[in-house]
Amino acid sequence: MTYPIRPISDEEWPQFSGVLAEAFNWTPHPTQSERWKANTEFDRTLAAFDGDLIAGVTGIHSFSMAVPGGTLPVAGVTAVSVLPSHRRRGILSQIMRRQLTDIRERGEAVAALYASEAIIYGRFGYGRAADNLAVRIPTHRSAFTAAAPSDPSLRVRVVKPAEVRSTLEELFASVMAERPGRYTRNEHFWNMSLADEEFDQQGAGSLRGFLVEDSSGARGYALFRVKATWGENGGPDGELQLRELYAIDPAAHALLWRAVLDRDLVTKVTADIPVDDPITQLLADVRQLNSRWGDELWVRLVSVDAALISRAYSAPVDVVIEVADDVCPWNAGRWRLTADTGSASCKPTDEAPDVSLPVSALGGAYLGAGSLAAQQAAGLLTEHSAGAVRSLATAMSWSPAPWAGFVF
C-alpha cells in the first residue's frame, strides 16, 4: 500500500507524539512533551496517514555538525516511528525515502541519526560513523599517570548549571568544531541539556556542575548527577553520573576529571565518552575504565559528490569509487575523488573503478572513524586496484575520533 506522506500541522502534534510514545514504549511527562514540541521543526516533520490516522512519523533537526576540517549543514534525523499495528507494511521505507529526497532538495549533503536499533538503518544507506565507550571507573582506583598535565593557575568552582548557562554555551561553542560529530545547540537543546525537574533526575538527584577557571575566565565545565546510596555496612556507595565534560586545553580537562573522580561519598563514576577521550590516557591503570563499546552516530551521504568535497582529508588521494545506492539512485555510479590536504574534487566518470562499495561504507567513514579497511577485511567492499582501499581509508581518517555526545 501507498500511504499519503506530508508534514504535520500544530493541531496534529498530539497524534504525532502519540505514535512516538507508543513505538518507544514511553509515557512522557506533559512538560517533557512540551519541550519536545518546542524543539520540533514542523516543516521538517513527515507523517504517513492511514485515512485520518497517523501511522508513521519522522522529523529533522537542522544544525551545523563538525566534520573533518570544518562544519557542514546536516539533517539530524529523529523521531522515526511506526505504530505497532502498522508494521511490515512498507511505511518506514516510504517515509525514509521521502525524507532523503526532501533533504537533497533542501541542499543538505549529509544526514545523521542515533539508532534505537542498530539493525534498522543500514538498509537505507546509513553507516556506523562514530563509536562510544560507556565507562564505569572506581574512584579508589582512579589515580592519574605521573605525566598528567596540571596548571597551578586553575581552580575548580562548584556551580548551579542553570545559573552559568551563558558561560556553558560559550565554552561548548568554542570546542564544538574540534571533534567531528559534535553539532550546534540551539536554545531548545540547551533547555533539554539543563532540564532539572524531578522526572529529569530519575532518582539521581539535581543536576550539578563544576567550572574550571583561571584569572582570564572559564576553561572547562562538567555536568553531572550523583545517585547517593549506601552499602550494606553503612559506608558511602554513591554513583556520579557524568553527563558532559568539555574543556579548551589538556590541563583543564584533566582537572575536571580529577574533580568528578574525587567527589566525596562517591565510589564510582559512570559516563559515555569518545573512544579516544583523554581519560583513556590519563588513568595510571587503564583497566579501571571498565568500558563497554557501542555504536553512536550513523551517517548517510545524501549527495555523494557534495559530501565528499565538503570535508578535509588527511592525505592526498586519487581514486575512482563505484557507489551502490538503491535508495538514492542519483548517487549510484562511478565518482573520481581527487583530494589533498587542502581541497577536494568529486566528479562522475566512466573510468574503471578502483573500489566498489555501498554508500553506507562511505557514510561510516565520513567523519573519520576509519572503517573502510575493516569493511574490506569483512568482504563488504571490493578493491579492484591494489592499495586503493588503504589510500582512501588513510585519506578519510581523522583525529580526534568522531563522537556527538548528546542524543538528538
- pLDDT tens column, 146-202: 999 999 999 999 999 999 999 999 999 999 999 999 999 999 999 999 999 999 999
Using alpha carbons, select from 191, 250, 177 the residue that is nearest to residue 219.
250
Asked if residue 338 has pLDDT above 90, the reply is yes
pLDDT at 48: 98
Using alpha carbons, select from 235, 283, 244 the residue that is nearest to residue 164.
244
Share of the chain above pLDDT 70, in %: 100
Q: Alpha-carbon distance 345 to 338, whole Å?
A: 5
Give the residue-averaged pLDDT of 379-390.
98
- Phi/psi at 63 (nearest 5 deg)? -155, 170
Share of the chain above pLDDT 90, in %: 98
Q: Alpha-carbon distance 282 to 330, whole Å?
A: 47
Bridge-based pairing state of the strands 292-295 and 127-128: unpaired
Q: Alpha-carbon distance 10 to 371, whole Å?
A: 42
C-alpha grid cell, residue 233: 555496612
1 pLDDT tier (thresholds 50, 70, 90): confident
Give the residue-averaged pLDDT of 302-308.
98
Q: Alpha-carbon distance 95 to 44, whole Å?
A: 12
The secondary structure element, H or E, covering residue 200 is helix 198-201
Give the residue-averaged pLDDT of 323-341.
97
Asked if residue 378 has pLDDT above 90, the reply is yes
Mean pLDDT, the chain, integer:
97
- Phi/psi at 182 (nearest 5 deg)? -65, 150
- Which amino acid belongs to residue 358? P
Cα angle at 338 between 336 and 340, to 5 degrees? 165
Q: Name which of 233-237, 255-259, 391-395 the model is least confident about.
A: 233-237
- pLDDT tens column, 135-147: 999 999 999 999 9
- pLDDT tens column, 206-245: 999 999 999 999 999 999 999 999 998 899 999 999 999 9
Asked if residue 44 has pLDDT above 90, the reply is yes
pLDDT at 233: 87
- Bridge partners of residue 226, in order along the sequence: 240
Give the residue-averaged pLDDT of 323-331.
98
Q: Alpha-carbon distance 312 to 302, whole Å?
A: 18
Helix (H, G, I), strand (E, B) or coil at 78: strand
pLDDT at 370: 82
Give the residue-averaged pLDDT of 331-354.
97
C-alpha grid cell, residue 84: 505497532
Asked if residue 381 has pLDDT above 90, the reply is yes
Q: Alpha-carbon distance 290 to 138, whole Å?
A: 9
- Bridge partners of residue 269, in order along the sequence: 137, 240
pLDDT at 345: 98
- pLDDT tens column, 79-121: 999 999 999 999 999 999 999 999 999 999 999 999 999 999 9
